[in-house]
Structure 1
Amino acid sequence: MFESLKKKFSRTSEKLEEELIEEAEKEDNLQEEEGSRFSFFSFGKKKQKDDVEDESSLLPESLEEAPEELEETSDDKIDELEEEDDSKKENKSGFLNRFRSSDDSKEDEEIEEDDESQDGDVEEKKSHFWSRNKDKSKEEGSADGEASGGLFSFVREKTIQEKHVDDILFELEMELLQGDVAMEVATEVVESVKEDLVGKKIKRSNDITEYTFIALRNAVAEIIDIPGKSMTEMIEEKKAAGEPLVVMFVGINGTGKTTTIGKLANYYLKKGYTPVIAASDTFRAGAIEQVTHHADNVGVKIIKHQKGSDPAAVAFDAVEHAKAQGKELVLIDTAGRMQTNTNLMDEMKKIKRVSKPDLVIFVGDALTGNDATEQAKKFNEAIDIDGVILTKADADSKGGASLSIGYVIQKPIMFLGVGQGYDDIKEYDAEWMLNQLFSDDEEAEVLEE
């Protein structure tokens, strides 16, 4: 999920690191040091990894815990093992020496070429030291995002200034806009990151990456965490009052609204509640049959009238049925409509007046990006929605809608559709979302489980 956003954030860190290192090299303020260079996404799990290494380095309390087989090993066997070990070392040493010799000759050739060349393109010369070590770190990089080469420190501490970040953050803003992130969201991210970074004191290259990671994570955290009650909490509150929670779903055709209703019915049925579905999309051909199919599959009651009947009457009957039968949840399906269709929007307002829903939820397709955000704005202006469900989030590589939609309309995302099955829906959690955006794929998969 959201691979495009991850790459944009990571590139921002890399560009800032390059900018500062190249400037330090010109100032003769740069030195290479021993240690591991961390990638952008490694900082989220760095502490956990260090803790594991500390524990693994502890020795047993007593040598008596050593296996008995070790004590019984004969002297001849030990001699054999030592000879085998020495042989391996010699082979390894020979290989390394040949490798180093080859490396040294290559470096000598590079130096000769540099000495013979005239004053050429400045861009080729200014980052020679940095790019050589950067390439080395890529070759030696490990699976957990660390590399044994390319770690630099500054002889004199550097301070991040506006001149270092202005062009880089402008590029980030343009990339976010191209990734279907809303204008106000892209601007907010950039301004927040700039405020966090400018003035930071930098001692080594890892600091640049870590500070950029933290600045971006903090900026996104502010945007995606829109406060609001969960639907489950609201069901419990209404249940305590002896009434069902009434939820009305709105959106345009093709976003997966009816399928989402089936998923939610299944979700809350498994939580021990008894939902009922209202087939209030009485205009679209096959709509009643479609929602009936989902209701039958998950095993919940559906209230429906004939095609072309008053959709508000269907919603009203479903609410009365839930009250009479002691059911805790009413899910009202409505006809998909474009936000610009005045007549259908008025019909939707009538359903709201009659059924008096506790929640009006906009269902949008995450893959439509900025279009989903614009649709949500129009529906919010027309009917005052309370929350959002984004479908197809699992297939969304850009992440524009997921990042933007809640912030733009100041209403929480309540659920995400993450697959085709009835179980493929999850309650939205801002911390989970952050981990999706700021962790590598392996870590994200663990979180999903």
Structure 2
Amino acid sequence: MFDNLSNSLTSAIGTLRGRGKLSESNMREGLGEVRTALLEADVAYDVVEEFLDRVSADAIGAKVLDALDPAQQLIGVVHRELVNLMGPVDHEIPFRSGDTTILMLCGLQGSGKTTTCGKIARRLQEQGKGVMLVAADLQRPAAIEQLSVLGEQIGIPVHTPQDHSDPVAVCKAGVKKAKKDGIDVVILDTAGRLSIDEELMAELSRIDRTVSPDQVFLVVDAMTGQDAVSSAKAFNEALEIDGVIMTKLDGDARGGAALSVKSVTGVPIKFMGTGEGVDALEEFHPDRLAGRILGMGDVVSLVEEAQRKFDQDEMQRQEERLKSGEFTLEDFKKMMLQTRRLGPLGKVMGMIPGMGGMQETLAGADLEKDINRLFGIIDSMTPEERRNPSRIVDQTRRRRIAAGAGVQPQEVNDLVKQFDGMASMMKGMAGLGMKDRMREVQKMQSAMGDPSGRLGRPKGDTGKRLTAEQRRKLKKQREKEARRRKRGARG
């Protein structure tokens, strides 16, 4: 998410490190690189200029210039202004007491509007709300079928039109049925167009006047850059939308739309789509996104997602085993499988403070494949070997396990050697809070799959070896993290 922007911004600010006390001259030089990074990310020009004016007003001053770590102080200023640029945001949907709440979703074709209707419905369903979907997109015949399939998938009723010519009548009938059935929330999937035109806006305005929705959300595609911002501005002028839902932020979107839309339209982004699944919808938190962009991580979102997706009973069993001093390779595998529910390892690394930079360093490595290789080794062991590999696995057994897993014996040796240290770390995590535990588990997972280490790849040509440049970057990253930890220990 926003990898290019994140790398550019952290690189721009990073050029100011090691210069001792910063001057106004080199501070402006750094901000000039920040400006370039934002423009390359397709942030609106006026937004960039206003943003830099605010950053300059805060940064070009004695408080920052005389700071012990001015570059870190500048990161704080940029983070604060990014939050101001995208916020504030109120995620609460005001529900009617004793009546049906009406949500209207609009947007251009291809923005992901119909899928987002299903995601919102799923989210409200998990909150205990009774939900109904109304298929009022009569411009795209497949939209009705798509919404019906989504409704069936998540167990939510879908009102489909009897009259395929009048979307206003469809919405009116759908709302009437929802009220009659005692539904808490009805979601209207309205028509889209390939581009904004008067006919579309007139149709949406008629629906707005007829059913008086409580909230109107605009769905925009982050991949379209400034076109998304222009669409938001046009829709808001016609309908006075209450919030934006930005989709496809899990792709290679440059980020300009997310950073520009609030400033240009005055309408906040309330939710963001981060995948194709019905659960891939997150609240939009400007402070958390700003943290991700600046490589500061987002442990809060990581923990929230873990609490939703992890098997809580299994987590409790693991906690009890750790407290009793037990941790085996089978426990490790279960924990890693739980962690995988959060998404690809690269995405999760970007949410851990200090590890965002590792994504670029390890871009050429297949970390998921390396973790699977470790799972293969564990699966080739007997239950007794998994419980205590360091004492039981001799050379004969190691060769047998390697053959069963399709790896080299040295890889089995590496896993066995690291198990004791890993077990000690995990036992030390017993009683830690969820945030601290997530940090440790994710660091361990990336270390276990680290292709620069012995565990991450086999000898010979059976794995993907890092290039010299990648190894250099990785070494530099490790040294940087070590210095940071050392400074923290002194503080």
What TM-score comes out, normalization by structure 2 length?
Answer: 0.58
For residues 214 and 301 of structure 2, the distance between their equivalents in structure 1, rounded to whole angstroms, comes to 34
The 8 Å contact of residues 366 and 396 in structure 1, kept in 2 or not, is answered as no
Please point out which of 210, 215, 227 is paired with 2:77. 215
| Paired residue secondary structure (1:393) | coil
Structure 1 runs of 4+ aligned residues shifted over 4 Å read: 201-206, 440-445
Judge conservation of contact 2:89–2:269 (CA < 8 Å) in 1: no
Q: Deviations over 1:137-160 (max 9, x none)?
A: xxxxxxxxxxxxxxxx5xxxx463
Amino acid at match of 1:213: I
Is 1:4 the equivalent of 2:1? Answer: no
Residue 208 (structure 2) pairs with residue 352 (structure 1): yes
Counterpart CA distance in 1 for 2:63 and 2:245 is 42
Corresponding residue for residue 285 of structure 1: 141
How far apart, CA to CA, are the structure 2 residues paired with 1:294 and 1:368?
Answer: 25
Q: Equivalents in 1 of 2:159, 2:89: separation in Å?
A: 33
Return the match for 2:58 from 196, 202, 208: 196
- Rounded Cα–Cα distance in structure 1 between residues aligned with 2:298 and 2:127: 29
Kept in 1, the 8 Å contact 2:288–2:298? The answer is no
Partner SS, residue 16 of structure 2? helix
Structure 1 equivalent of residue 187 of structure 2: 331
Shift of 1:441: 5.9
Instruction: Indicate conservation of the 8 Å contact 2:89/2:285, yes or no.
Output: no
Distance 1:191 1:417, change over 3 A: same
Q: Is the 8 A contact 2:139 2:192 kept in 1?
A: no
The residue number in structure 2 matching 1:429 is 285
Say whether residues 1:186 and 2:42 are aligned partners. no
Which residues in structure 2 correspond to 1:311-390 (within 5 Å)? 311-390=167-246
RCO comparison, higher one (Cα < 8 Å, 6+):
1
User: Structure 1 residue 294 and structure 2 residue 150: aligned?
Assistant: yes
For residue 15 of structure 2, give the secondary structure of its aligned residue in structure 1. Answer: helix
Distance in 1, matches of 2:239 and 2:166, equals: 19
The equivalent of 2:23 in structure 1 is 160
Q: Could you give the per-residue CA deviations for residues 81-109 of structure 1, whole angstroms, max 9, x where no partner exists? A: xxxxxxxxxxxxxxxxxxxxxxxxxxxxx
Question: CA offset at residue 174 of structure 1?
Answer: 2.8
- Find 1:169's aligned residue among 31, 34, 42: 31
Larger Rg: 1
- Look up the SS of the partner of 1:286 in the other structure: helix
Match of residue 117 from structure 1: none
Q: 1:202 offset after TM fit, Å?
A: 6.7
Cα distance, 1:317 vs. partner? 1.2
Moved more, 364-373 or 434-443: 434-443
Tell me which amino acid in the other structure corresponds to 1:178. E
2:117 aligned with 1:261, yes or no? yes
1:392 paired to 2:255: no
Cα 1:203–1:178, aligned 2, differ >3 Å: closer, same or farther?
A: closer
Distance in 2 (alpha carbons) for counterparts of 1:166 and 1:432: 26
Identity rate, percent? 33
- Which protein is richer in strand relative to its size? 1
Task: Describe the SS at the equivalent of 1:247.
Answer: strand
Alignment check: 8 A CA contact 1:159 1:199 kept: no
Q: For each residue in 1:223-252, what CA deviation from the matched residue of structure 2 results, as whole angstroms up to 9, or x when unmatched?
A: 111343522xx12xx1x2x11111111110
Structure-to-structure mapping, 1:93-172, within 5 angstroms? 153=20, 158=21, 160-161=23-24, 163-172=25-34
Aligned residue in 2 for 1:36? none
Q: Is the 8 A contact 1:226 1:411 kept in 2?
A: no
Cα distance, 1:425 vs structure 2: 0.9
In structure 2, the gaps of 5 or more residues are 307-491
